[in-house]
């Protein structure tokens, strides 16, 4: 049985009628930028996330970068985050001129270890950027308390957490701003790139909207800020608008797959992911830990099962980021996770039968290791 890691085309096959109609409507309208779909998508996402403002931009990377600019993060500042994430989290911090300060993660949840944050705070610390990795939120209660005690800003990297909640509250309600990603492979994926800033702060929203379009003020061709060209394309907004209607059912299906894995891999000799108490996990990835990870991956491949490694190398090992870290051994849990993690297929169009096949293969691998 062939089990692909993603099936983006299946999303189109499911929604080709309304998607084709929406895209053609945009093309025929001549309104290719910031039109009706853009406005509607922003309104619907603000309502879904229970925030005052949702600002659609070109990518999740731009969402983080623009949010940090709007929050006044500048050269000389320090931003506490983790090195077990997609590069954009630290990349955008560096682009503002600030310095990422990496703290270690917790094994099994892969979230920032909140017990280590206070030791990393210095007089230059301006913000904490928790990464809601693999579809569940970091412990925002603990992070909020630390931020309040030390007068720090919180920016949520919620790129992987569209649809995730903590104690019933969605991302974007915990910090000063959050960045979402609609990259193709995300739970809610555009037909290309897309992202969004969520905030309850009117001033941050106004600055973000301005920075999104070159820093333009209320009056055309008058500039208040240094900005970018980062409008979400209307065609992307139309695709996302159609897919948004399916998001909660799609995430529910991911949950079903994850529950099947959690149940049937319980005694399979692999470390299963833990969801923090109070979290509704959006299951962007289902990530397990195995000491002979590369062997498992090859074993699965031979049986038609694709898997992915998020992330094989911690950020502080990469040349552009090494200068912000303290070298090998400085983040032992992060480094161990990079050696042991492997993500199994977990998406909205994966059948339960395919997921059961994945389970059989993982169990077969574990058994073969015990008897060898
Ligand atoms: C944790 C994290 N942050 C930021 C981003 C950046 O989003 P985008 O690819 O839309 O620029 C991603 C995307 O993969 C991500 O996974």
Query: DSSP letter string over 46-85?
Result: HHHHT-SEEEEES-HHHHHHHHHHHTT--TT-EEEEESSS
Among the listed residues 265, 195, 282, the one whose alpha carbon sits nearest the alpha carbon of residue 231: 195
Q: What is the pLDDT of residues 328-360, one digit of tens each?
A: 999 999 999 999 999 999 999 999 999 999 999
> From ligand 1's centre to the CA of 159, what distance in Å?
5
- For residue 60, the model assigns a pLDDT of 98
Dihedral sign from CA coordinates of 11, 17, 21, 24: positive
Question: Does 131 contact ligand 1 (Cβ within 6 A)?
Answer: yes
**Alpha-carbon distance 121 to 116, whole Å?**
10
- Whether residue 311 is preceded by a cis peptide bond, meaning omega within 30 degrees of 0, is yes
Residue corresponding to tokens 């399916």: 246
Question: Does 159 contact ligand 1 (Cβ within 6 A)?
Answer: yes
Which atom of ligand 1 is closest in space to residue 133's alpha carbon? Answer: 1
Instruction: For the chain, give the percent of residues with pLDDT over 70.
Output: 99
How would you list the strands of the sheet with 53-57, edge to edge? 53-57, 195-199, 177-181, 153-157, 125-128, 78-82, 99-103
Confidence of residue 368 (pLDDT cuts 50, 70, 90): confident
Cα of first residue to Cα of last residue in the chain, in angstroms, is: 25
- For residue 371, the model assigns a pLDDT of 46
**Alpha-carbon distance 103 to 115, whole Å?**
10
101-110 average pLDDT score: 96
Q: Give whole-number Cα distances, 101 to 90, 130, 312, in Å.
A: 9, 12, 20
Indicate the range of 144-148, 215-219, 274-278 predicted with least confidence: 215-219
Which atom of ligand 1 is closest in space to residue 182's alpha carbon? Answer: 10
> From ligand 1's centre to the CA of 196, what distance in Å?
11
Tokens coding 32 = 């290719």
Question: Does 157 contact ligand 1 (Cβ within 6 A)?
Answer: yes
Instruction: For the chain, give the percent of residues with pLDDT over 90.
Output: 98
Tokens coding 343 = 């993500």
In the predicted structure, residue 367 carries a pLDDT above the cut 70:
yes
**Alpha-carbon distance 329 to 316, whole Å?**
10
146-171 average pLDDT score: 97
More confident site: 172 or 55: 55
Q: Going from the N-terminus, what domains does the chain have, and what CATH number goes with each? A: 8-104+111-244 (3.40.640.10), 247-371 (3.90.1150.10)
> From ligand 1's centre to the CA of 89, what distance in Å?
7
Q: What is the b/e burial string over 116-125, where b = at least 16 CB atoms within 10 angstroms of the residue's CB?
A: bbeeebeeeb
**Alpha-carbon distance 69 to 350, whole Å?**
39
- For residue 372, the model assigns a pLDDT of 39
Which atom of ligand 1 is closest in space to residue 92's alpha carbon? Answer: 4
CB of 273 within 8 A of CB of 134? yes
CB of 329 within 8 A of CB of 274? no
Tokens coding 167 = 């104690």
**Alpha-carbon distance 318 to 323, whole Å?**
9
Give the distance, in angstroms, between the CA of residue 190 and the centroid of all CA atoms in the same chain.
14
Q: Which residues contact 252 (CB under 8 A, 6 or more apart)?
A: none
Ligand 1 pocket test, candidate residues 68, 88, 134, 284, most atoms within 8 A of CB: 88
> From ligand 1's centre to the CA of 86, what distance in Å?
6
249-260 average pLDDT score: 98
248-270 average pLDDT score: 97
Q: What is the mean pLDDT of the chain?
A: 97
62-85 average pLDDT score: 98
**Alpha-carbon distance 162 to 321, whole Å?**
27
Confidence of residue 370 (pLDDT cuts 50, 70, 90): low
Indicate the range of 216-220, 249-253, 361-365 predicted with least confidence: 216-220
Residues catalogued as catalytic? 186
- For residue 223, the model assigns a pLDDT of 95
Residues 281/145/207/133 CA torsion (nearest 10 deg): -30
Confidence of residue 154 (pLDDT cuts 50, 70, 90): very high
**Alpha-carbon distance 113 to 192, whole Å?**
33
Confidence of residue 218 (pLDDT cuts 50, 70, 90): confident
In the predicted structure, residue 266 carries a pLDDT above the cut 80:
yes
HEC-encoded secondary structure of 290-309? CCCHHHHHHHHHHCCECCEC
**pTM metric for this prediction:** 0.97
């Amino acid at each position: 049985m062939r089990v692909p890691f993603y099936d983006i085309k299946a999303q189109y096959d499911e929604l080709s009628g309304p998607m084709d109609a929406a895209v053609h409507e945009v093309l025929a309208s001549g309104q290719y930028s910031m039109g009706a779909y853009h406005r509607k998508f922003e309104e619907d996402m603000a309502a879904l996330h229970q925030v005052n403002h949702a600002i659609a931009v070109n990518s999740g990377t731009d969402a983080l970068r623009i949010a940090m600019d709007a929050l006044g993060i500048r050269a000389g500042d320090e931003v506490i985050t983790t090195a077990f994430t997609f590069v954009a989290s630290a990349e955008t911090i560096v682009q503002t001129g600030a310095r990422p300060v990496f703290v270690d993660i917790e094994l099994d949840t892969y979230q920032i270890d909140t017990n280590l944050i206070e030791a990393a705070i210095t007089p230059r610390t301006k913000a904490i950027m928790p990464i809601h990795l693999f579809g569940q939120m970091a412990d925002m209660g603990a992070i909020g308390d630390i931020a309040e005690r030390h007068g720090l800003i919180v920016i949520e990297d919620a790129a992987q957490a569209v649809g995730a909640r903590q104690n019933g509250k969605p991302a974007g309600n915990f910090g000063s701003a959050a960045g979402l990603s609609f990259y193709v492979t995300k739970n809610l994926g555009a037909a290309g790139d897309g992202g969004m800033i969520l905030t309850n702060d009117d001033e941050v929203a106004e600055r973000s909207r301005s920075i999104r379009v070159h820093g333009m003020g209320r009056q055309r061709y008058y500039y208040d800020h240094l900005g970018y060209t980062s409008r979400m394309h209307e065609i992307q907004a139309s695709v996302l608008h159609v897919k948004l209607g399916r998001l909660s059912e799609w995430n529910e299906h991911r949950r079903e797959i994850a529950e099947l894995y959690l149940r049937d891999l319980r005694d399979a000799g692999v470390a299963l992911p833990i969801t923090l108490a109070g979290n509704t996990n959006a299951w962007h990835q289902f990530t397990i830990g195995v000491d002979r990870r590369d062997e498992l991956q090859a074993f699965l491949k031979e049986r038609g099962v694709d898997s992915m490694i998020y992330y094989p190398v911690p950020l502080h090992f990469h040349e552009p980021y090494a200068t912000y870290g303290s070298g090998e051994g400085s983040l032992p849990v992060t480094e161990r996770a990079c050696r042991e993690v492997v993500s199994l297929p977990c998406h909205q169009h994966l059948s339960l039968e395919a997921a059961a096949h994945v389970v059989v293969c993982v169990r077969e691998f574990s058994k073969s290791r015990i008897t060898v």
